[in-house]
Structure 1
Amino acid sequence: MLTRDYDSSPSLVHERLRDTYGPVAPVDLLGVPVWLVLGYSEVREILGDQGGIWSKRLANWRDRAEGRIPPEWPLSPAFEVNSSAFQDGAPLRRVRDAWTSALAPFQDHTHVQSQALERAAKKYADDLITVLSEGSGTVGWADLSAQFARPLPLMVINRLLGFESAQGDDVFMDIWRMLDAGPDAAEATHRLLSSVVDLAVTKMRNPGQDFPSYMLAANPDFTVDEMARELIMLPVLTGDVTASLICNTIVEILVNPHVRASLNDGIIEETINRVALVNPPMANLTFRFPTVDVKMGRFVIAAGDPVMVSVAGAHADPAFGAAIDPHAIRSTRAHLAWGVGPHRCQGQRLATRITAIAVSRLFERFSRIRLALPADQLPWRPSPFLRALRSLPVQFELSQAHTPSGNAGSRPISQGRSQAPAPQHQEPPRSALWRFLQGLRRQ
């Protein structure tokens, strides 16, 4: 599951596995045997399980409970945070109800908090575009993953969490270090956990108009540890997934003329839905464990075996994908990119809105963008779960409406969007974060 072939073309690996084994295939994941479920109906059955057969609780992982998973297994840290992502039944519903309540003000466009967040997201997008293009004249080069798609959702999430500005910049940098899993990732993770614990304590004492405060209002019984475990999921999961969705959407627009037409027609959310179908950012989901032996496909999966459902594989299942028109502007909502059932993604509307703002602002500010590499040579991050680009190198040309010599009356290529704020209205750069982003431009 972590090979060069899989990184470059997972669809070919899925096709080979399907041809050999059917809808369920035995695979190796860094030395741990795992069942990979590729069939659309089988994936939907597992995700939609309400009867407790397909558990997310790590206590049901037989080999882990019996000490057969090596402590140095590289993916162990992803399973060590005992958050709602690894709960079932009543404990899961208790936490998810609070998530639903806390996200609602930011996902309901009629709510003042949602409107303020959207204005902030547009400003963050404009600020990032300004930084990556400054000093380039009208034509330049950029890595839209590192310089735009990855920082933007983290900026929005920092605002959701309610960090003070300076502390939020430090948290942003630690999230980045942790997600990159570099040599300083362990120290960054430790600092990040300490930061969210402090944040939980602060919001318990002095609630505000932010996500942690709304969670506590929905469930005042949360302990500090419970809150910290849930809060760290927001940047780790929502941030990286949204960044991947932004990149995948940009690539799809640049390589597919039918998708570019939908962008120019002003139906950006249809474009995003199509990308979620053809290239879902969460290609595979974390393990489920059957509580009883289950016959699936050609195999009997023993109780306690780790089972990884493949969203990307399910979308490529001929039983599902054969009926999809690849040229249609409007695509099916029956895809599984956001999950189904008790663990369905609760931040779908937020992720979609951030992506829509990011893509719209980018194609308004730039009159021309082209890939600096052939699409089939773009580098992907090695991950068994996420389908995310390691970098997205492009050459761009600034729109005349957004260059000093441009005609102020020029019409941007995307309809119905305001122009970028004038420099005198921008906040002063935040030292550590913006020096880091400016450093990326120089590199």
Structure 2
Amino acid sequence: MTPAPATAEPLLTRDYDANPAQVHERLRKVYGPVAPVDLLGVPVWFVMGYEEVLRVLQNSGGAWSKRVDRWKAHAEGRIPADWPLLPVFQVNNSTFQDGAAHNELRRAWTSALAPYQDHGHPQGQRLEKAVVRHADDLIGVLAEGGATGWADLAAQYARPLPLMVADRMLGFTAARGEDVVMDLWRMIDAGPEAAAAFERLYAAMTELGAAKRAAPGDDLPSYLIAAKPDITLDELARELLMLPGLLDFAASLVCNVVVEVAANPDVRESLSAGAIDETVNRVALLNPPMANLTFRYALTEVKLGNYTIAPGDPVMLSVAAAHQDPRFAGAIDWHAIRTTRAHLAWGAGPHNCLGQLLATRITAIAVHRLFKRMSKVKLALPADQLPWRPSPFMRALRSLPIQYELAPEPLRSAPAEGETPGPEEAPVDEPVVERPARSPLWAFLRGLRRPR
């Protein structure tokens, strides 16, 4: 059975933007763990059951492909050229590949990310210290307006911080990196500028790849080239587009963790180093930033839920809905100190996220520094009234308005007894990146400060 536009109900509605959990529950009652939906005019299968999502992700029988050329409607020219999500699927990097080519690129990524994800590696240590410094710089901009005030933590902290990490890892200048990440948001959000944003992103990454091939450095593009010397500039540019996406995930996770901590005094009280990691894991379970994954396509007829999926049909796996599946959620002890790691926020199977440690560490440091530097973080809106970005894939806050009060302790304070905050809060053993007051990024951030 294939969903037809006449019978498949639209997924991306105001109800979905406001409360996707309620939409998941209603769809589950009507259709079971798999539902036919309309995604901006294109019929897809929406998979909400935990077991069904995990089975497709693991793909042990080889029944599913991520290659866009396996999408029957696309191959037959039935997807409109101006469909807002089309640029996402045309990236054609390892996210959308299978088999040997996919495995080879993942091995290169594993090698390139290893220095950043190893606490004992000098690159990993430098990165952690740089994240601390960037976090303190952003909080410092808020502090310029006084010890108390109002802020949008999404725009003034959570989003710029991963941007700075992307600048460092990719080797972009701050202004160029800002353009890259903003264009990635435009592409992910599937707005009217998505196609033009993809073209600019591809050009920027191609230019960067050519520069690093000519003059390798101590950065991610150079590591990828070293791990796969035969990688073409086209392949390299498309692969590099994955890093800002990972860091956009981290920005959303930072916001979601801040909401959890600010809305729950018990969580705030327990923020030791270990508790931060546990809180990040709990939030990834409760409110995964990557709510829905890009399509998989059936290679043969596949029974899934109450339906038979035809060859070439697309399925969109909903991680958020899978976590709410009573068969999964009902088995979790929500009062346990340590929550399950069996959630799907980082994927599973051959396409699981290789940058999990990096994104988790950035998030943990960002949360630690924020609540160490601020003695008060109060949500300016009730948690259930916070505004969310409309997106078919991400569940990310459009803004996170807070009322804050800075702690009186100095910037480089010593950890409290028994506290292990993570990266050593010492000067970074590398040249400090110049951050002039006229920088577009810093001018933008200072422009966001609200008058006292």
For the residue of structure 1 that corresponds to 2:151, the secondary structure is strand
The total of aligned residue pairs comes to 432
Partner of 1:230: 239
Distance of aligned partners of 1:77 and 1:189 in 2 relative to their CA distance in 1, 3 Å threshold: closer
Cα offset, 1:282, TM superposition = 0.5
Amino acid at match of 2:122: V
Amino acid at match of 1:80: Q
Confirm or deny: 8 A CA contact 1:37 1:310 kept in the other structure.
yes
2:128 aligned with 1:118: yes
Partner of 2:201: 192
User: How much is the aligned-residue C-alpha RMSD, in angstroms?
Assistant: 2.3
Partner of 2:175: 169
For the residue of structure 2 that corresponds to 1:267, the secondary structure is helix
Confirm or deny: 8 A CA contact 1:171 1:195 kept in the other structure.
no
Distance of aligned partners of 1:283 and 1:228 in 2 relative to their CA distance in 1, 3 Å threshold: same
2:58 aligned with 1:58: no
Partner of 2:419: 415
Pairing 1:268-347 to 2, within 5 Å after superposition: 268-347=276-355
Amino acid at match of 1:392: L
Distance of aligned partners of 1:183 and 1:294 in 2 relative to their CA distance in 1, 3 Å threshold: closer
For the residue of structure 1 that corresponds to 2:337, the secondary structure is coil
Cα offset, 1:379, TM superposition = 0.2
Aligned counterparts of 1:67 and 1:22: Cα–Cα separation in 2: 31
Pairing 1:74-93 to 2, within 5 Å after superposition: 74-93=84-103
Amino acid at match of 1:221: D
Confirm or deny: 8 A CA contact 2:12 2:392 kept in the other structure.
yes
Pairing 1:19-418 to 2, within 5 Å after superposition: 19-135=29-145, 137-163=146-172, 165=173, 168-180=174-186, 189-235=198-244, 237-264=245-272, 266-402=274-410, 415-417=419-421
Confirm or deny: 8 A CA contact 2:84 2:192 kept in the other structure.
no
For the residue of structure 2 that corresponds to 1:441, the secondary structure is coil
Distance of aligned partners of 1:126 and 1:174 in 2 relative to their CA distance in 1, 3 Å threshold: same
Partner of 2:8: none
Aligned counterparts of 2:418 and 2:69: Cα–Cα separation in 1: 50
* Identity percentage of aligned residues: 60
Aligned counterparts of 2:158 and 2:61: Cα–Cα separation in 1: 38
Cα offset, 1:267, TM superposition = 2.0
Aligned counterparts of 1:120 and 1:262: Cα–Cα separation in 2: 25
Confirm or deny: 8 A CA contact 1:258 1:327 kept in the other structure.
no
Aligned counterparts of 1:25 and 1:31: Cα–Cα separation in 2: 15
Confirm or deny: 8 A CA contact 2:87 2:194 kept in the other structure.
no
Confirm or deny: 8 A CA contact 1:360 1:414 kept in the other structure.
no
For the residue of structure 1 that corresponds to 2:26, the secondary structure is helix
- Which is worse superposed, 264-273 or 412-421? 412-421
Cα offset, 1:279, TM superposition = 0.5
For the residue of structure 2 that corresponds to 1:400, the secondary structure is coil
Q: Which among 10, 13, 19 is matched to residue 3 of structure 1?
A: 13
Distance of aligned partners of 1:426 and 1:127 in 2 relative to their CA distance in 1, 3 Å threshold: farther
Amino acid at match of 2:276: I
Partner of 2:5: none
Amino acid at match of 1:169: A
Cα offset, 1:432, TM superposition = 1.8
Distance of aligned partners of 1:427 and 1:277 in 2 relative to their CA distance in 1, 3 Å threshold: same
Confirm or deny: 8 A CA contact 2:149 2:450 kept in the other structure.
no
Confirm or deny: 8 A CA contact 2:115 2:122 kept in the other structure.
yes
Confirm or deny: 8 A CA contact 2:64 2:299 kept in the other structure.
yes
Amino acid at match of 1:31: G
Cα offset, 1:172, TM superposition = 1.6
Distance of aligned partners of 1:414 and 1:302 in 2 relative to their CA distance in 1, 3 Å threshold: farther
Q: Once the two structures are superposed, what CA deviation does each residue of 1:281-326 show, in whole Å capped at 9, x if it has no partner? A: 1011000000001111111111111100111111111111012122
Distance of aligned partners of 1:293 and 1:271 in 2 relative to their CA distance in 1, 3 Å threshold: same
For the residue of structure 2 that corresponds to 1:401, the secondary structure is coil
Aligned counterparts of 1:410 and 1:291: Cα–Cα separation in 2: 57
Aligned counterparts of 1:374 and 1:21: Cα–Cα separation in 2: 32
Q: Once the two structures are superposed, what CA deviation does each residue of 1:364-390 show, in whole Å capped at 9, x if it has no partner? A: 000010000010100000111101000
Cα offset, 1:414, TM superposition = 10
Distance of aligned partners of 1:411 and 1:50 in 2 relative to their CA distance in 1, 3 Å threshold: closer
Distance of aligned partners of 1:205 and 1:242 in 2 relative to their CA distance in 1, 3 Å threshold: same
Any stretches of 5+ residues in structure 1 without a counterpart?
none
Distance of aligned partners of 1:414 and 1:10 in 2 relative to their CA distance in 1, 3 Å threshold: farther
Partner of 1:17: 27
Cα offset, 1:217, TM superposition = 0.9
Confirm or deny: 8 A CA contact 1:400 1:410 kept in the other structure.
no
Aligned counterparts of 2:418 and 2:15: Cα–Cα separation in 1: 37
Confirm or deny: 8 A CA contact 1:402 1:420 kept in the other structure.
no
Confirm or deny: 8 A CA contact 1:367 1:398 kept in the other structure.
yes
Distance of aligned partners of 1:227 and 1:427 in 2 relative to their CA distance in 1, 3 Å threshold: closer
Confirm or deny: 8 A CA contact 1:401 1:412 kept in the other structure.
no
TM-score by length of 1: 0.92
Confirm or deny: 8 A CA contact 1:262 1:270 kept in the other structure.
no
Partner of 1:432: 440
Confirm or deny: 8 A CA contact 1:268 1:356 kept in the other structure.
yes
TM-score by length of 2: 0.90
Confirm or deny: 8 A CA contact 1:289 1:307 kept in the other structure.
yes
Distance of aligned partners of 1:304 and 1:185 in 2 relative to their CA distance in 1, 3 Å threshold: closer
For the residue of structure 1 that corresponds to 2:449, the secondary structure is helix
Cα offset, 1:415, TM superposition = 3.4
Amino acid at match of 2:143: S
Aligned counterparts of 1:126 and 1:50: Cα–Cα separation in 2: 45
Aligned counterparts of 2:359 and 2:134: Cα–Cα separation in 1: 15
Aligned counterparts of 2:414 and 2:317: Cα–Cα separation in 1: 48
